Structure 1
Amino acid sequence: MENWRKSSYSGEGDGNECVEIANSLTHVAVRDSKTPARATLTFPPEAFAPFLEGLKRDQ
C-alpha cells in the first residue's frame, strides 16, 4: 500500500492544482489528488529528480 502525501505546493493559489506523491524502494508515484482513482505516473527513484527539474524549466 502506498503512503500518499500532498505536494508542498497544494495549498497555494486556488488549490485546484494539487498532486500527491508516494515513495517506495522501487518507485515514486504521482497522482492528481482530486481524482486519486485515475491514472498514476510512476518513476524509478533515480528518474524522479530529473522529471521535476524538467517541469521547473518549462514554467
Structure 2
Amino acid sequence: MHKPDPSLPADQHDKRSVIQIEMDDMDQWLEETQKEASELLRLTPGGVFDASPA
C-alpha cells in the first residue's frame, strides 16, 4: 500500500484495497462492460489472506 499525502485533507486521501477476482469471474472482468465488471468489486472476507511481518 502507500503512505497518504499529509498535505491533503482526510477526505481526499487516495484509499485503495486489494480486490480478489475469482477465476470463474475472469471472463466477466476482462470482456464485459465496465458496469458488469464493477459488480465484481467487493472486499474479500477477512481471513482469506495470510498476513505476517515481512
TM-score (norm. length: structure 2): 0.27
Looking at secondary structure, tell me which structure has more helix per residue. Answer: 2
After TM superposition, the score normalised by the length of structure 1 is 0.25
Which structure would you say has the larger RCO, counting Cα contacts within 8 Å and 6 or more residues apart?
2
Select the structure of larger CA radius of gyration: 2
